[in-house]
Chain A
Amino acid sequence: MTGSPHVHVGNTSVAAVMAKVMAALIPGTIAHAWFFGPGIWVSLLLCGLFALVLEALLLRLRGLPLKPFLGDGSVLLTAWLLALSLPTLAPWWLYLIGTLFAVVVAKHLYGGLGQNLFNPAMVGYAALIIGFPAYMTLWPGPIGAVDHSLTLWEAFDLVFAGQGAVSHDAVTAATALDTWRTQTRLGTPVDDILTRPMFGWIGARGHEIVAAMYLLGGLLLLSARVITWHIPVAFLAGIVLTSGALHLIDPAAHADPLFHLFSGAAMLGAFFIATDPVTAASTPRGKLIYAGLAGFLVVVIRTWGAYPDGVAFAVLLMNACVPFIDDYTHPRVFGHKRASKP
């Protein structure tokens, strides 16, 4: 039975929403390939393929129809976000394991589309960084900072054979976030750190441009009303306020807010990861609390944690709080004096 309304806005569907988000990822992905070589195409392809196959398998196992669920695009988006978060020159099985955790564990074991508590891409990332920390450093260095710029075939070679005409050492480099953390802990002067090749104008070399492209994509999503301003603004504000305070206290130990915004996955996190509707808070006030705290945690983990970036764990931690946050931030319903308490 279907009653009113008899009409639908028509131009929206889950697939359309996912497609818009993926379209907004294109500028950042191209910038990524420009600065870090064609490795991203290989990892993107692998994650996408693995994700589609695993999703189809899981749908089959659960007795669900393939067409509507494969067609909704959500698993491709997950794969894309995962590929963008992983180093691009890791062995192929790393992408398989990451996708496995994202699609099978984080998504389907929780009940599939719309039911998952944790962001699937970030679960995949977190599993890898805990299980295979050594491989998670295989980031190609930005052009200009490494001796050799890779061709697509060399990238394939590295991913599938592990060794090829070029060695990993020739093309990978420590990231700016890593360098900053290890060097400040060693007591290297800030001026010295910042002249190293992995640092750019304001953030990490190469990464800062990629981040700017994510920002651009995010603004497109905002203008297309796919996301609201609450989460990105609160997330970035959380980063800026926390890192700004630390920087004011001790500039020798703590990078300035701009560096935090334009290195690592801050922008990707603000517009594409923390905003994942399924796992984010959904009330207006809830979004501010959820994303603000996530931004705060990003800086805390980057500063005192043992991991190269804090976005994944910050988002996952806040995902776990979402049901609670949502329950306590219900907006005031029209005609009521106060907001409802659960």
Chain B
Amino acid sequence: MSRRLFPFHGGVHPEPHKRESNTTPIRAMPLLPRYVVPMRQHIGEPARPTVHVGDHVLRGQIIGEAQGYVSTAVHAPTSGRVVALEPRPAAHPSGLYDLAVVIEADGDDRAVAFQPLDWRNMDASALRNRVRDLGVAGLGGAVFPSYVKLNPGAQRIHTLIVNGAECEPWITCDDRLMRERAGETLRGIAIMRHCLAAERVLIGIEDNKPEAIAAMRAALAALDADDARGVEIVAVPSIYPAGGGKQLTYLLTGLETPSGGRSTDLGIQVFNVGTAYALWRAVELGEPLISRVVTVTGHVAAPGNFEARLGTPLVDLIAAAGGELPGATGQIVGGPMMGFDLMDDAAPVTKAVNCVIVKNATLFPPRAPDLPCIRCDACARACPVVLQPFDLYWYSRAKDFGRAQSYHLFDCIECGCCSYVCPSHIPLVDYFRYAKSEIWQREREKLAADQARQRHEFKTFRLEREKREKAEKFAKAAEKTKAAAGAPVDADAERKQALLKAAMERAQKAKEAVQPKNVDNLPPAVQREIDEIEARRAAARDAAEHPADAGADK
């Protein structure tokens, strides 16, 4: 039972605040009159709507289909009529609107016929395609389409790591899920393992969740011997961010995911426990992903966990938890370490929303004004990635982005440990986000400029070619009149071909050259992130240019 663990560098111990919401069972939400279902609920391409205003839909019916490889389907959370298909507020740090299907419930909650899958005997690729159409995406917050991750591809996956660490304070949805639905979760894990053909499964749970650990161990003992083989439930120390994918991988195996790479490079795949449960529902019951467990906690009357349909407006979700108490000062979506301030509580629950925390001034006091960095290196001691945040801060602030990048700015996982411990109260992570977005923006501008240059070069090349060809034609015509027709045509064509090829190669090289160092292996989320960051950029730049110590070095 006692597996050797590999503690990662740094980490912090924020107040856990788990008891507020983890003592009551997961509650069901009443059927709401209206659901707002965004098409972008996962990383990658958003789903393409397949319904029109006025259509009648059934619960579980596809209303948005996967579009492109990294994408997955979106389904109707209940039966009813599509009353709008338009941009709506979304739960995003940027406050951007997303295209959503608005469904007016008819109250019958009638479902399409669900088809359980015989996953043990199915063709692997057919199974994955079904998982794509059933809408399963990572429920730990990253919402990567699961069917993609279930494809081992050319890599051999020897270890499946299942993340039940839930290291962020306040959040308890995975805790409750493991306590109440351990058996189903383990069977979902068995499906994952089957797809990946992994020999061993390590389920990491922070030791501040003894009930969840006990429930999972009991369920494991009751599991089919075949499915239980090589599965181990490991209690890991409670230290933030033990639930970070790379941190948990290291903690359990001692293997470091290469910078810019993925855990699959090590033969390891990582899933969240909530995803395993959703996969079980999708595969064994044939039921698409239309609801998830969400923690509602903080300054509300009755904190707890809710089985909320995707599309449930957050304002209704908060109301289900007894509503905000007097003195509420806003909401955080996600945890306090990495979550973001909600801009509009009309935004709905999506596959990415695991927690809503209602703030008040005592639980979340306003940040103290920042002082200059005193190089105390508390941040470096706390950083799980072994960065030197004060250096990154210095270079980000000085807009020396090249140096920031060469000191591995893009390895920063924005976990917030550094800001959390900084005695000068510097919002370090804000600076890092700002620097990253500036670098992306510059790369994008460079790319655009390069493309424009290439277009221009090609145009010049084409014009010259046409001119030359015309001249050659004249010359040929003139020759023809002089003598009988020769055969220089072939050589000529070959020359043209070579010229064209050279131009293409040049263009290709130029394109490769603009691939920025250190940002090449970014996940497909980047495009989306750039959009979001765009919206934050102006504000971030503002913050960076007017810190409390403004003028300290000017």
Contacts and interface: CB of A to CB of B under 8 A. Distances in A.
A9 B421 contact: yes
Contacts of B336: 4-7
A266 B432 CA distance: 40
A13 B372 CA distance: 11
Contacts of A228: 377, 381
B141 interface: no
Given A1-B536, A5-B420, A6-B339, A340 B364 contact: no
Among A7, A17, A280, the one with the most B-chain Cβ atoms within 10 Å of its Cβ is: A7
A68 B550 CA distance: 13
Interface in A69-99: 69, 72, 74
Contact of A113 (B371, B421, B422): B371
Contacts of B424: 13-14, 114
B71 interface: no
A278 B375 CA distance: 5
Nearest to B384: A334
B148 interface: no
A18 B336 CA distance: 28
A187 interface: no
A120 to B, nearest CB: 13
Contact of B419 (A5, A113, A326): A5
Interface string A251-295: 000000000000000000000000001101011000000000000
Contacts of B258: 335-336
Contact of B423 (A6, A12, A283, A331): A12
Interface in A1-38: 1-9, 12-14, 16-17
Interface string B400-432: 000000111001001010011111110101100
Interface in B317-372: 332, 334, 336-341, 359, 364, 367-369, 371-372
Contacts of A64: 549, 551-552
B388 interface: yes
B429 A333 contact: no
Interface residues of B, number: 72
B187 interface: no
Given A1-B539, A8-B420, A16-B423, A277 B551 contact: no
A115 B425 contact: no
Interface stretch (B6-14, B107-115, B285-293, B302-310): B6-14
Contacts of A14: 371, 374, 423-424
Given A13-B368, A330-B388, A5 B337 contact: yes
A7 B334 CA distance: 13
Given A4-B429, A113-B371, A12 B338 contact: no
B536 A8 contact: no
Contacts of B385: 333-335
Contacts of A133: none
Nearest to A110: B553
B548 interface: yes
A334 B246 contact: yes
A17 B364 contact: no
B154 to A, nearest CB: 21
B553 A115 contact: yes
Nearest to B339: A4
Given A9-B12, A335-B411, A4 B338 contact: yes
Interface of B: 8-9, 12, 14-15, 93, 169, 246, 250, 256-261, 332, 334, 336-341, 359, 364, 367-369, 371-378, 380-381, 384-388, 390-391, 406-408, 411, 414, 416, 419-425, 427, 429-430, 433, 536, 539-540, 542-543, 548-549, 551-553
For the complex of A and B, list the 7 residue pairs with the smallest distance between their C-beta atoms, beginning with the closest. Answer: A5-B416, A114-B372, A335-B259, A1-B539, A277-B376, A6-B336, A12-B423
12 contacts: A2-B427, A6-B339, A12-B421, A13-B424, A14-B423, A112-B553, A113-B552, A114-B374, A280-B375, A333-B259, A333-B386, A333-B411
